Structure 1
Amino acid sequence: MEPGPSAEKGIKAENPIGGSPGARDGALDGIRALAALGVWVLHVGGNTGVIYRDGMFAWMTTRLGIAVPVFFLLSGLLLYRPWARSVIEGTPPPGAGRYLWRRVLRVIPAYWLVTILALAAWGTSLDWGTWAKWLLLLQNYFEQKRAPDGLYQMWTMPIEMAFYLVLPLLAWLLHAWARRGDRPVRLLTGIAVLPAISIGTAIAAHVWDQPQLALWLPYHLIFFAAGMAMAVLSVWLKEIRIIDQLAPQLLVLAVLLYATLSTELAGPRTLTLPSLSQSLWRMILEATVAILVVAPFALASRHDTLRHRVLGNPVTAYLGRISYSFFLWHAPVITLFYKVTGSQPFAGNFTQVAIFTFVGSVLASVGSYHLLEEPMLRLSGRRSAPLPPPEAPVPQPAAPAP
């Protein structure tokens, strides 16, 4: 989905994993940059064995997987917003065919480039079925013991693509449900069904001993639904003053809940499967932290605040723009480092590995973004543009003296 700048003015930023170009919000780009860096730190920590050591730092590094729910939430927010605007304000809805074509152009070329190179370099004795499975984003729907080297981060991509495919249907169902009565309220009540599906899927995965369900879209709908609800609120209420006033407290609360997420309450930090209660606690805590992180920027989008200036500075904003490529490239670069140096898995100096792989991932991402992603953006008919400067406030008359 590639809504125009007028449809997304004041909030628009590229979708975190394969995003939509257009008018941009630098702070949301900054959130995407931090999320991408969080995934990279998690994988550096995993490859060096840091996350398996004792201490709170190791536990908190393990939970940097919270970046994925943040990505999913931003997808729901940015991609559903034009449909929410259509229901609430009566604007034309996005065309499903055009939306899906833009999604394909935005996501698939860069994904294919990285996947083909990784499979060709390290995928030994792969048959055509395995190649087709990975190139068609079907890897989550087949049993596999271990992802090929350099592609262990790609489990999120089939989930994102599944959301892209079902979003027009979800939007149509929500529109039909909201035709009568208070449309924004009915949209929110309809969206509230999606988290229930996630909870039900988590229960089913444990009751029927089907852990692979955690790799399917229904398990993660709670995160996309949070973003969709934010999209409705941002169109309906424009800017929520209490969110703006409480933004610092919300961000502090996000940090505290992240510390809670880093405990055994949310499950083990190894590949051991969590219990049902641990899975549910982790799901709820991750959704809450993601909401608390994004809401102060999506629902209180005053660009003159300190939080917006910090996250929306040119460096983080640019890293946000290349974050999809960074997400794709960082795992192959980490794998390449270990292959070239001959380092053993779960060993190595964290700082050394981090420095070399960060530089390599950024260089690969810059090249991939400008040589492949940007041409695909132009081909899809969208171009990235900064948000216009905020309008000067209209002076208000002074209140009369009592």
Structure 2
Amino acid sequence: MTSVVSARPAGAPRMPTLDALRGVGATAVVAGHVTFATGAVGMPYWGYWFSRLEVFVSVFFVLSGFVLFRPYAHARATGTPAPTLGRHFWRRSLRIIPAYWLVVVACFLFLAPGQVPWQTWVQHFTFTQFYSQGGLMPGIGQAWSLTVEVVFYLFLPFFAILALGKRWRPARTVAICLLLVPVTVAWALALGYGQLNIFVHPLWFPSHAGSFGVGMALATAHVALNTGTAPRRWALLDDLASAPWACIGFTVGLFALTATPIAGPQGGIGIATGSEYAVRLLLYMTMASCLLVPVAFGRGTSLHGFLSSMPMRWLGTVSFGLFLWHPLAMHIIEVVSGVPQFGRDPLTMFAMTMVLALLLAAMSWYGVERPIVNWGRNVGRSRRAARPAGGDPQPRQRRERHQLWRRRRVAEDHALGEPVSQQEHGWWQQPQQASGAVEAAPVVSWQPLRQHAHHEGEQYATERHGTADRPAEPDQGQPAQEQWYQPTGEAAPSTAGRFVGRASVPPRQYGDHHDQHQQPGPEQERVAEGALRREAEHHGSTGTGW
């Protein structure tokens, strides 16, 4: 049997350090775009490094795979409900569409007023501008990664069903998630051999599916470690997280490797071959994983303390706006200063871009993004609160309600002396007397007996004498739950007994004899109703009923 590590305290549903890491990535993307705009990528040696800052786009993809797949994995591991399709798409739409549309409108009105055809507006509003050549517009070119993210949002719920299956098996889920890596490698090789358009298809989802797969695999491992269901060897992730600066040092070494010709033309000038592009993407996935592990799996390290600081948390909060607004900020600086971007000092340009982009990002977050996200959250809560208690119940609730209704019907039937068939209700009952022998029916009562699939270990028992005497104790060698109440004495006339939920009410007694023809009286009806009411309360208190 595979050994597993013990469960550790689960982290908070939201990890602020992941947002801070996203803020670091957005800052690196700004630096990369500034070095391209100013021509700094042409510098010897350092320009090679600047051209590889695009690795942080892969960090975004790995983060998205980790953050968005984790609720599905946690739901499967703990048996709790997974996010619904409606909630998933609603929250994702509110998070990215308002801010993105605002940037699109600002770019088109500021950079090309009255010159953008309506087809271009539609393409940008629907995230389809990069599915044909020539869709790159000034100030909004960085949105190609959002088109990839949107495809992942559509892909995720259905992939989660496939990867997680019906039972929680984390090793299987990790293996399925990592199958997206060879998909990316095959796509990169197809680009190199001329099977795909090198100006369009590198911006499509298959080029980066492996990054999302790595993030989802790490999310599965994170949930498995938190729930104590991970194989023992997966504890290596915790060991790596406890040495964050070693992980960062290894990432820097890989980053230096990407600046060599092994990952394609240096300085971002030229077209990489298929193998070079595949190697670059694999290195980007590995680097993103090395950055994510100490942030997501570590606890109480110096890196966590740095990322949990107030400035870093705020940077993570406005990171999406920083990513969206910085190209427009660069154009605004160029227009206002009258100095072209190319040839400017990269450090000065970077500082001015960060200040203006953070200002625009803060205005977008506090004025647009956060109010809309809060409104969407309140709408969801209001809908759940306004849902009537007697509305359309869940399938399990409907089944429980129907079972309780059937029990009530059986109780009423027996109270009136009407027989209940085994085929109709699926409950075991002693056979009826043959017609013509003696017009008598067994006194049927409800007693707990051996386990039965339909009704939680409760069975009909038959007492053929008019008494409600309990049977003798079972033999010591046979379990009590395997014993039956054996019929004793002579059969009593029909209509003598009745079923009353989880209680057994004997016929009314007069002295030492039974009134075998007495119909149910008020006392018996009161006891029967009380038993049914207690049963209903039991179902409601345990959460399995209405």
TM-score class normalised by the smaller sequence: 0.7 to 0.9
Q: Aligned partners of 1:265 and 1:248: how far apart in 2?
A: 26
Q: Aligned partners of 2:255 and 2:378: how far apart in 1?
A: 36
**Matched residue type, 1:313:** S
1:382 shift after superposition? 7.2
Describe how 1:158-173 pairs up with structure 2 within 5 A.
158-173=147-162
Q: Does 1:340 align with 2:340?
A: no
Identify which range, 256-265 or 335-344, moves more after superposition.
Answer: 335-344
- One of 71, 74, 89 as aligned partner of 1:82: 71
- One of 99, 103, 108 as aligned partner of 2:92: 103
TM-score (norm 1): 0.85
Secondary structure at the counterpart of residue 344 of structure 1: coil
Q: Aligned partners of 1:11 and 1:127: how far apart in 2?
A: 46
Q: Contact 1:33 / 1:319 at 8 angstroms: preserved in 2? A: yes
Secondary structure at the counterpart of residue 72 of structure 1: helix
Q: Which has the larger radius of gyration?
A: 2
- One of 121, 127, 130 as aligned partner of 1:137: 127
Q: Which has the higher helix share?
A: 1
Describe how 1:111-150 pairs up with structure 2 within 5 A.
111-123=100-112, 125-144=115-134, 147-150=136-139
Q: Does 1:232 align with 2:199?
A: no
Q: Does 1:353 align with 2:349?
A: yes
Secondary structure at the counterpart of residue 137 of structure 2: coil
The equivalent of 2:141 in structure 1 is 152
- One of 36, 50, 54 as aligned partner of 1:61: 50
Q: Aligned partners of 1:344 and 1:310: how far apart in 2?
A: 36
Q: Aligned partners of 1:74 and 1:366: how far apart in 2?
A: 22
1:229 shift after superposition? 0.6
- One of 23, 30, 37 as aligned partner of 1:40: 30
Q: Contact 2:192 / 2:275 at 8 angstroms: preserved in 1? A: no
The equivalent of 1:194 in structure 2 is 180
Describe how 1:193-212 pairs up with structure 2 within 5 A.
193-207=179-193, 208-211=195-198, 212=200
CA change 1:38–1:119 in 2 (3 A) is same
Q: Aligned partners of 1:165 and 1:230: how far apart in 2?
A: 20
Describe how 1:233-248 pairs up with structure 2 within 5 A.
233-238=221-226, 240-248=237-245
Q: Contact 1:138 / 1:158 at 8 angstroms: preserved in 2? A: yes
Q: Does 1:275 align with 2:260?
A: no
Q: Contact 2:244 / 2:301 at 8 angstroms: preserved in 1? A: no
User: Structure 2 stretches of 5 or more lacking a match?
Assistant: 1-8, 227-234, 380-546
CA change 1:147–1:34 in 2 (3 A) is same
Secondary structure at the counterpart of residue 368 of structure 1: helix
Secondary structure at the counterpart of residue 64 of structure 1: coil
1:351 shift after superposition? 2.3
Q: Aligned partners of 1:31 and 1:382: how far apart in 2?
A: 28
Q: Contact 1:202 / 1:219 at 8 angstroms: preserved in 2? A: yes
Q: Contact 2:190 / 2:274 at 8 angstroms: preserved in 1? A: no
Describe how 1:276-355 pairs up with structure 2 within 5 A.
276-300=274-298, 302=299, 304-355=300-351
CA change 1:9–1:153 in 2 (3 A) is farther
Counting matched residue pairs gives 358
The equivalent of 2:209 in structure 1 is 221
**Matched residue type, 1:110:** A
The equivalent of 1:10 in structure 2 is 11
Q: Contact 1:28 / 1:312 at 8 angstroms: preserved in 2? A: no
Identify which range, 182-191 or 276-285, moves more after superposition.
Answer: 182-191
Q: Contact 1:155 / 1:215 at 8 angstroms: preserved in 2? A: yes
Name which structure has the greater RCO, CA cutoff 8 Å, separation 6+: 1
**Matched residue type, 1:206:** G
**Matched residue type, 1:266:** A
**Matched residue type, 1:200:** A
1:11 shift after superposition? 5.5
Deviation digits for residues 372-396 of structure 1 (CA, Å, limit 9, x no counterpart): 111111022179xxxxxxxxxxxxx
Q: Does 1:367 align with 2:363?
A: yes
User: Structure 1 stretches of 5 or more lacking a match?
Assistant: 1-7, 13-22, 384-402
CA change 1:204–1:225 in 2 (3 A) is same
1:148 shift after superposition? 1.9
Deviation digits for residues 196-222 of structure 1 (CA, Å, limit 9, x no counterpart): 111111122222142222111111011
Q: CA RMSD in A?
A: 1.9
The equivalent of 1:386 in structure 2 is none
Q: Contact 1:230 / 1:299 at 8 angstroms: preserved in 2? A: no
Q: Contact 2:148 / 2:204 at 8 angstroms: preserved in 1? A: yes
Q: Aligned partners of 1:244 and 1:352: how far apart in 2?
A: 36
**Matched residue type, 2:210:** I
Q: Aligned partners of 1:267 and 1:11: how far apart in 2?
A: 41
Q: What is the percentage of aligned positions where both structures have the same residue?
A: 30
Q: Contact 1:87 / 1:183 at 8 angstroms: preserved in 2? A: no
Q: Aligned partners of 2:141 and 2:241: how far apart in 1?
A: 38
Q: Does 1:249 align with 2:246?
A: yes
Q: Aligned partners of 1:270 and 1:85: how far apart in 2?
A: 40
1:53 shift after superposition? 1.7
TM-score (norm 2): 0.63
**Matched residue type, 1:329:** W
Q: Aligned partners of 2:90 and 2:20: how far apart in 1?
A: 27
Deviation digits for residues 14-33 of structure 1 (CA, Å, limit 9, x no counterpart): xxxxxxxxx3x232222111
Q: Aligned partners of 1:228 and 1:166: how far apart in 2?
A: 13
